[in-house]
Structure 1
Amino acid sequence: MGNVIHHVELAGLATRRQFIRGSSVSLGGVALASLMGDAKALSHIAPKAKRVIYLFMHGGPSQLDLLDHKPGLKKLHGRELPPTVRGDQRLTGMTSGQKTLPVTSSLFNFTQHGQSGAWVSELLPHTAKMADELCIIRSMHTEAINHDPAVTYLQTGHQQPGRPSFGAWLSYGLGCESQDLPAFVVMVSRGSAARPADPLYARLWGSGFLPSSHQGVALRSSGDPVLYLSNPTGIDRATRRDQLDVIAALNRKQLALQHDPEIATRISQYEMAFRMQSSVPELTAMNDESAATLDAYGPQSRQPGTFAANCLLARRMAERGVRFIQLYHRGWDQHYNLPSDIRLQCGDIDQPSAALIRDLKQRGMLEETLVIWGGEFGRTTYSQGKLEPTNHGRDHHGRCFTMWLAGGGIKPGIQFGETDDFCFNVVRDPVHVHDLNATLLHQLGIDHTKLTYRFQGRDYRLTDVHGEVVKGLLA
């Protein structure tokens, strides 16, 4: 089996025990210690990164309006997309009935930036200034063409629901560096564009068949940051402590009888919630942040629940040992009004994203923090609906899209991969969803083929049975 992070599922009571098979490491052997905050990182290789901040642009940002410059499309603007370029690419229900698929060039100007000479859209002026810190991957591709399967695929390694999320896998494999905050935290913000809110399901940060202690904890933008964290009226902290001690004693007796990992999870979650009653208010208050820092993240950094405020919170969580920090920013599904709406979306995310990288670097944290930016797919080179001079939309496109990485031992200041002149197909150095996840795990010290969990008689992993580490992305 090799040095596999491996779990053998429990079925029934104490008659079936977790065990170590071959030279694998059984989670059963470390489960309770891990859940109680005494986890040891189970690494296969020397890690370059300790933590992840994942800036997820939900809806699919248009790569050819932001980071994949295609000046030749201006000469082809309005012409029909050649069938030889489209090939056998599936179309969504939004454009499959269109009689024509007119090529639509970007309305926005691109210029080169930094020593790397990266072409970046005028919509991202702050990001452009950080070009030499970025690894821009222009050759991402996925089989999924609709939102829920595509997001689920990128986050869990499978298009169908039910698998553990990336953050849950990382919590399971590496545990948490913090005693007072969860290993995996999620924050959601909504874009400034007045668009319907695409659904985001909690299973996207769920633990699937992993123990539920590894699921993401969602922070709210108003009221208590975490539901049910505050004590009820009339219950002080000492009384709460006494209650938890009694409940923990009962749960430990049940754990000794049944050997059920979920009981250990319940014990740990009660204890974590108690510690979070102090740690979360301190985290979210941000009274110790200077005016200069708040200004660097932009005017919205003072408004709880915005992408800017969440980026600053992400840095604070990284400082406090949170392993995986997921920020979802909704509003990128621009089937119509793309020119106006993408400006608003970029106004939300451009300055905070750049400030986060700069802030991490100034604090000496970027080398050990892997920052990821991107969505579940890109957008089509052809217009959805009628092509108008200054207004159009773009449909979903999974055959090529763009993401960027920074920090965490990723090679900075490069543009990796290439798409064709129509920004429709990858022509050099393709990076599949599974390849990306394999590479990210590698930087965190994990061989993606060895991080497994046995469920229903089969060993599962984040990358399913696919994926290769993309060596060209590594510093």
Structure 2
Amino acid sequence: HFPGKVKSIIWLFMTGGPSQVDTWDYKPELQQRDGQALAGADTKTGFFDTSGKCLKSPFAWKQHGQSGTWVSDLFPHLSRHVDKMAFIHSMHLRQNNHAPASLELMCGTNRPGLPSLGSWLTYGLGSENQNLPSFVVLHDTRPRGDDQIWSAGFLPKTYQALTLAAGRREAIDNLARDARQNDGQQRAQLALLRELNQEHASARPTQGDLAARIDSYELAYRMQMAAPEALDITRESEATHKMYGMDNPECATFSRQCLIGRRLVERGVRFVQIFAGKGVGGDGSVGDVPWDCHSDLETNHRSCGMHTDQPAAALLADLEARGLLESTLVVWGGEFGRTSDSQGAKGRDHNPNGFTIWLAGAGVKGGVHYGATDDFGYRAVTNKVHVNDLHATLLHLAGLNHQKLTYRFNGRDFRLTDVGGQVVDAILA
């Protein structure tokens, strides 16, 4: 391995699969051929049948920044930051439904039981703050794929994510000390518990989960002081709250999550994954897949944009102002894209064959565009980037050689990128 430019990653996960041709991948040909047959369309590409006829984007497009990046009007705030972003327009993967695609995107394969990107990253880098977990997931509604997509798999459970749900009464369940105990009593209880657990573990040397269980008690004790402070956004100024959109009911939940994400990386958390959740799809779409627009694309994506645009832009601006963008990488993307032909009442189906993800911050060039889909945004055709390539690139930015980051399990060495993966050098600064 080698010195990396990235100390922390924040992944803004656009659950449900945003449409590339309505967000970041402008296709004039699609606009001109609305309602005409889409040449080469496979009506079975997605999860349901599609019409095979072009559906133009209902949104207005403009060029932004010195890079002249085309952005739809869904993102009036994020469009100001395009010169910080490295766009990959040729992402593709194999799975075409939410849970398996999310699993493939985060674990490199759709097979359950394998470690996720966040777990591999923290396994490779360790923690910068012994009083906080190194991997944190923030969600409103649990996404499809559930905890499999942030699982530590066969890695030691020390690398399992801590999940924080926006709707909980308390930020972290069961963290506070019993009111009947003082600190000394709790410390003595933990010391006894550790002694008993170590005695139990010494007779079972192959059971790695026991060591992780012991460590979890110690971490929970240290978190009793550190975690409430890290999650307390009342310590932030009114101006910061407004910048993130905390005063706007359309985006208040995602705003809070993005602000907490910044506070966590500021305190040394390695990997923060924030899922856009319920309250997004104004068309009544299912809350755990808000960008899923099988019908009424315009209402759905307009609502999703309002929910995520201002908080995500504020996160970039805030990280930059604090000097954190030099060591933090922000990733924006969902589990797949959408079809260029229509489905139902002006909707789009799932499309894993070509979609856009962008990265901003540490180690990447700003205002660059890598790869391309065809003239209709239907398939990746130039410089195709598989999820294994994306993972190899993210690990490289963190100073980890994806081919050497391995863990032996069941008689073989596993790695996040399996037997593939090429670093996308063209986007590296």
TM over 0.5: yes
1:316 and 2:263 matched = yes
Q: Counterparts of 1:349 and 1:433 in 2: how far apart (Å)?
A: 23
Using the aligned pairs only, state the percent identity.
45
* CA offset digits 1:146-165 (Å, max 9, x no partner): 11111000100111211001
Distance in 1 between residues matched to 2:119 and 2:249, nearest whole Å = 30
Residue number in structure 2 paired with 1:36: none
Shift of 1:141: 0.9
| Aligned residue pairs, count | 415
Tell me what 1:395 maps to. 349
Could you list the per-position Cα deviations for residues 79-99 of structure 1 after superposition, in whole angstroms to 9, with x for gaps in the alignment? 1212xx336x8523411xx5x
The whole-number CA distance in structure 2 between the counterparts of 1:198 and 1:364 is 32
> Which of the numbers 416, 435, 438 marks the counterpart of 2:392?
438
Q: Secondary structure at the match of 1:230?
A: coil
The question of 1:361 aligning with 2:320 is answered: yes
Cα deviation, residue 189, structure 1: 2.8
Instruction: For residue 258 of structure 1, report the CA deviation from its aligned partner.
Output: 2.9
Native 8 Å contact 1:301 1:312 kept in 2? no
Match of 1:232, SS? coil
Give the alignment of 1:72-111 within 5 angstroms: 72-82=29-39, 85-86=40-41, 90-95=44-49, 100-111=51-62
The two structures, once aligned, show a CA RMSD in angstroms of: 1.8
CA separation of 1:317 and 1:163: change in aligned 2, threshold 3 A: same
1:118 aligns to 2:69 (yes or no) = yes
Contact 1:300 1:308 in 2 (8 A): no
Q: 2:17 aligns to what?
A: 60
Question: After the TM superposition, which of the residue ranges 464-473 and 224-233 deviates more from structure 2?
Answer: 224-233
For residues 46 and 24 of structure 2, the distance between their equivalents in structure 1, rounded to whole angstroms, comes to 24
Answer yes or no: is the 8 Å Cα contact 1:51–1:322 preserved in 2.
yes
Superposed CA deviations along residues 47-74 of structure 1, whole A, max 9, x for unmatched, are 0111110111111001111100012222
Residue 219 (structure 1) aligned to one of 155, 164, 185: 164
The CA distance in 1 between the partners of 2:148 and 2:32, in whole Å, is 44
Tell me if the contact between 1:103 and 1:381 (Cα under 8 Å) persists in the aligned partners: yes
Counterpart of 1:208?
Answer: 153
CA distance in 2 between counterparts of 1:61 and 1:304 reads 17
Q: Which residue number corresponds to residue 261 of structure 1? A: 208
Of residues 296, 299, 309 in structure 1, which corresponds to 2:246?
299
Amino acid in structure 2 at the alignment position of 1:282? E
Q: Give, as a single letter, the amino acid of the residue that structure 2 aligns with 1:117.
A: G
Alignment of 1:364-379 (within 5 A): 364-379=323-338
CA offsets 1:284-340 (integer angstroms, 9 cap, x no match): 222321111111111358999811101000000001010110101131111112101
Q: Kindly provide the CA deviation profile for residues 359-417 of structure 1, in whole angstroms up to 9, marking residues without a partner as x.
A: 1111111111011000010000011124xxxxx11000011000110012011111221
2:174 matched to 1:228? yes
1:358 aligned partner, one-letter code: A
Whichever residue aligns with residue 416 of structure 1, its letter is: Y
Give the C-alpha shift of residue 228 in structure 1. 1.6
Amino acid paired to 1:201? D
Deviation of residue 422 (structure 1)? 1.0
Query: 2:293, 2:110 → 1: CA distance?
Result: 22
Report which of the two structures shows the higher radius of gyration computed on alpha carbons: 1
Equivalent in the alignment of 1:179:
130
Aligned to 1:238: 184
Pick aligned residue for 2:303 from 344, 359, 362:
344
| SS of structure 2 residue aligned to 1:276 | helix
1:278 pairs with 2:232: no
Runs (4+) of structure 1 exceeding 4 A deviation are 300-305
Shift of 1:441: 0.3
**Gapped regions of structure 2 (runs ≥ 5):** 278-289
Read off the aligned partner of 2:138 and give its amino acid letter.
M
Q: CA deviation at 1:223?
A: 1.9
Judge conservation of contact 2:251–2:307 (CA < 8 Å) in 1. Answer: no
CA offsets, 1:170-190, max 9 Å, x none?
Answer: 111111101110010000035
TM-superposed deviation, 1:255:
3.3
CA 1:304–1:107 in 2, change beyond 3 Å: closer, same or farther? closer
Alignment pair present for 1:427 and 2:389: no
In 2, distance between residues paired with 1:305 and 1:106?
27
Contact preservation (8 Å) 2:115, 2:155: yes
CA pair 105-302 structure 1, distance change in 2 beyond 3 A: closer
Q: In structure 2, what residue type is equivalent to 1:370?
A: L
- Structure 2 Cα separation of the partners of residues 301 and 442 of structure 1: 38
Work out whether 1:155 is the aligned partner of 2:133.
Answer: no
Q: CA deviation at 1:203?
A: 1.8
Cα pair 2:41 2:52 within 8 Å, conserved? no
TM-score normalised according to structure 2 size: 0.93
CA contact (8 A) 1:126 1:351 kept: yes
Q: Which amino acid aligns with 1:381?
A: S
The one-letter amino acid paired with 1:188 is: H
